[in-house]
């Protein structure tokens, strides 16, 4: 689970990262990485729309993404804002495939 300082909570923060951040697309996710400026810790946000599936499926995908980013937190550079958008294929992807997808993009765009 991500601590409160490691979460994006405001819609305006999401909007800035998605519009101005570097984009990396994978088979199951699209990852946007922006710079927070003065923030000392990396922050993560998740977008899992209804296209992914029912509420149960969306929450499962969101929990998996949170666990993946909690694992990656030590090597993501401080001050990075990351938004991960799940694509409809994420619902049928297993944990390992999601982890590979997200970690590849984080290593390319947000590594310390």
Closest CA to 71 of 29, 46, 28, 102: 102
Reported confidence tier of residue 112, pLDDT bands at 50, 70, 90: low
Domains of the chain as residue ranges with CATH: 23-109 (3.30.230.10)
Retrieve residue 12's tokens. 């305006």
**Band of the pLDDT at 3, cuts 50, 70, 90?**
confident
pLDDT in tens, 49-102: 999 999 999 999 999 999 999 999 989 988 899 999 999 999 999 999 999 999
Query: What are residue 81's phi and psi, to 5 degrees?
Result: -105, 125
Measured CA to CA, the distance from residue 76 to residue 111 in angstroms comes to: 5
- Reported as a pLDDT band with limits 50, 70 and 90, residue 109 is confident
Report CA Rg, the chain: 13
């Amino acid at each position: 689970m991500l601590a409160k300082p490691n979460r994006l909570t405001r819609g305006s923060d999401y909007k800035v990262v998605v519009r101005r951040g570097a984009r990396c697309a994978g088979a199951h996710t699209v990852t946007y990485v922006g710079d927070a400026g003065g923030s000392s810790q990396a922050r993560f946000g998740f977008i899992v729309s209804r296209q992914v599936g029912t509420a149960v499926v969306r929450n499962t995908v969101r929990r998996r993404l949170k666990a993946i980013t909690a694992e990656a937190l030590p090597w993501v550079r401080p001050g990075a804002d990351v938004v991960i958008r799940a694509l409809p294929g994420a619902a049928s992807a297993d944990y390992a495939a999601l982890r590979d997808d997200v970690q590849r993009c984080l290593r390319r765009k947000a590594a310390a």
